[in-house]
Amino acid sequence: MEKVSLKPNSTALLEEKVLDWDSVQKSFDQSFGTEIYSSWLKHISLVKEFNDHVILGVKTRFFRDWITSRYADKILSVIKKHKLSINRIEFKIEPENSSYNKSIINNVNLGQVSEIKNSVLNYNRLNPALNFNNFIVGKSNNLSFLSAKKICAQLSRYNPLFIYGGVGLGKTHLLNSIGLELSQKNKVMFISAERFMYQFIKSIKKNEMVNFKDFFRKANVFIIDDIQFIRGKEGLQEEFFHTFNTLFDQSAQIVISSDRPPNKLDRVQDRIKSRLSGGLVVDIGAPDYELKLSILRKKILDYQNSFKESPDLQEEVIDYLAKNSNSNIRELIGIFNRVVAFGKMSKKSLTVSDCKIILKDIYNTSKVVSIDKIQNVTSNFFSISLAEMLSPRRSRPLARPRQMAMYLAKKLTSRSLPEIGRKFSNRDHTTVIHAVKTIDKLIESNDEMRKNVEELKSLILSD
Ligand code: ADP
Ligand code: MG
């Protein structure tokens, strides 16, 4: 007996001890801080105690995963302070745990629940304008389109459905269409990864993680847009992983979009990547000429339906836009709107060279037009020498081309008036202003002038 008391004394004493769960809880509060404690640890109950391990009760799988992935080590070390012999903890999911339920009910302030609901619902709205009917199908998006339709016809057949592709190619449109189609008979949650994070952080700050979790778990169709946003965000990935798993376990249909395939999502946990690629992965490619043409034709129809008049667009202009726009459908639609608006404002049918300027403006990162080029092209066009064009002579055959070149320098470059003046043999900026005004007026009144300016513009902007 004497020998026993000579054992390292603290261990001997603590081994005898039965855990006092209330004081363990108090230690949790002190070690983790009240926020984490009241969101998470407060709800853990002690189910069973053994000499070397304890079984702790939590309400849901999510709670268990969350707590083990973040706090398990620290929980163990806190418990060890109360009973040193404990070297392992196990969690048991106990949905009916009454003490847990009571504490949740006591904690949930109904006002907060509706607040979180409202704030999520604010951006959970599906856009009725983005539906399957107005999604134009071509070679590049056919597979994504068919997959989207398929999961609508049969939920969880492909789970998750992962659609990836570059910007402006129709990912959000497709996701929204799925949401619309399914929302009649299902509880659909549609959110961007960015919004998901915003809501997540807000819920942590406001101690509403339980509500947050419950809210997202209610969906049986969970659609998350732009998942690449979670790259490099550990906390968010953790939360997404658990949400994903919970929903997946409940056989909810999950639909995800991304700007790249799952295996290219760098700085994303492997376990998430593997979940993401576990269903059907399809890509949405860049539109070809035919698809761009169909989209333009559809936009013209839409315009006719809304405004009861046709946009003034010549066939060659439509063709030019389909051929020369970038492979980005959002941009194509932007250009279309712009061309139509310009046409309406200038009260004339736009030409291909007008479109070149509009496109140029949009792609202003592409080639830069130099004043030298404008001068060369213009003097060639009128068969005069560059020296003559820049000379002080005021005869009309020299002065008009000079004014046109100044005008074009103003319209096609971002040079200031004084800079332009300097490039024209050090003329004053007021001379440039005068030139711009004169040509603007002549374009209005003189067909020949308008044609010449258009031709010049397209010569300058070509190649
Ligand atoms: P992403 O999410 O891939 O960046 P969006 O879905 O936001 O692209 O699409 C950009 C714009 O192009 C939206 O206005 C969308 O309605 C339109 N759009 C994209 N693809 C199509 C399509 N196939 N048919 C009709 N409109 C489309
Ligand atoms: Mg999008």
| Number of residues written out for the chain | 463
Question: What is the predicted pLDDT for the residue at 262?
Answer: 96
Query: Nearest-CA neighbor of 422 among 407, 437, 432?
Result: 432
Question: What is the predicted pLDDT for the residue at 270?
Answer: 95
**CB atoms inside a 10 Å sphere around CB 307:** 11
Across the range 66-83, mean pLDDT stands at: 86
Helix then strand then coil, % of the chain, to nearest 5? 60, 10, 30
Closest ligand 1 atom to residue 138 Cα is 23
Alpha carbon of 171 to ligand 1 centroid (Å): 7
Residue 3 has pLDDT above 50, yes or no: no
**CB atoms inside a 10 Å sphere around CB 254:** 26
d(CA 386, CA 424): 10
Across the range 40-57, mean pLDDT stands at: 86
Question: What is the predicted pLDDT for the residue at 377?
Answer: 94
Ligand 1 pocket test: pick from 329, 332, 333, 335 the residue with the most ligand atoms within 8 Å of its Cβ.
329
Question: What is the predicted pLDDT for the residue at 49?
Answer: 84
d(CA 177, CA 452): 48
* CB of residue 329 inside a 6 A radius of ligand 1: yes
Could you tell me which residues are beta bridge partners of residue 88?
Answer: 53
The identity of residue 220, as a single letter, is: N
pTM: 0.59
**Percentage of the chain exceeding pLDDT 90:** 49
Closest ligand 1 atom to residue 174 Cα is 6
Across the range 119-133, mean pLDDT stands at: 73
Give the tens place of pLDDT for each residue, 134-170.
Answer: 999 999 999 999 999 999 999 988 999 999 998 899 9
CA-nearest residue for atom 18, ligand 1, is: 170
Ligand 1 pocket test: pick from 132, 142, 173 the residue with the most ligand atoms within 8 Å of its Cβ.
173
Question: What is the predicted pLDDT for the residue at 364?
Answer: 54
Query: Nearest-CA neighbor of 180 among 280, 248, 255, 251?
Result: 255
Q: What is the mean pLDDT of the chain?
A: 84
Question: What is the predicted pLDDT for the residue at 146?
Answer: 97
- Whether 175 and 126 have beta carbons less than 8 Å apart is answered as no
Give the tens place of pLDDT for each residue, 320-364.
Answer: 999 887 778 988 998 898 888 888 877 778 888 888 777 776 665
Give the tens place of pLDDT for each residue, 5-20.
Answer: 333 334 433 334 678 8
- Whether 297 and 331 have beta carbons less than 8 Å apart is answered as no
Question: What is the predicted pLDDT for the residue at 17?
Answer: 60
Across the range 259-288, mean pLDDT stands at: 94
Query: Nearest-CA neighbor of 188 among 157, 227, 219, 161?
Result: 219
Closest ligand 1 atom to residue 291 Cα is 23
* CB of residue 167 inside a 6 A radius of ligand 1: yes
Q: What is the DSSP letter of 316?
A: H
59 φ, ψ (degrees, to nearest 5): -80, -40
d(CA 328, CA 323): 12
Give the tens place of pLDDT for each residue, 352-386.
Answer: 888 877 777 666 544 578 999 999 999 999 999 99
Alpha carbon of 333 to ligand 1 centroid (Å): 9
Across the range 295-318, mean pLDDT stands at: 90
Across the range 109-133, mean pLDDT stands at: 60
**Burial of 110: CB neighbours in 10 Å, binned 0-12, 13-18, 19+:** exposed
Give the tens place of pLDDT for each residue, 206-258.
Answer: 888 888 888 888 899 999 999 999 999 999 999 999 999 999 999 999 999 99
* CB of residue 130 inside a 6 A radius of ligand 1: yes
Q: Token digits for 303?
A: 């315009």
* CB of residue 171 inside a 6 A radius of ligand 1: yes
Question: What is the predicted pLDDT for the residue at 451?
Answer: 83
CA-nearest residue for atom 14, ligand 1, is: 330
Question: What is the predicted pLDDT for the residue at 83?
Answer: 87
Alpha carbon of 165 to ligand 2 centroid (Å): 10
**Burial of 311: CB neighbours in 10 Å, binned 0-12, 13-18, 19+:** buried
- Measured in whole angstroms, the distance separating CA 236 from the mean position of its chain's CA atoms is 16
Alpha carbon of 330 to ligand 1 centroid (Å): 6
* CB of residue 168 inside a 6 A radius of ligand 1: yes
Question: What is the predicted pLDDT for the residue at 121?
Answer: 46
- Whether 76 and 103 have beta carbons less than 8 Å apart is answered as no
Across the range 175-201, mean pLDDT stands at: 92
d(CA 184, CA 263): 34
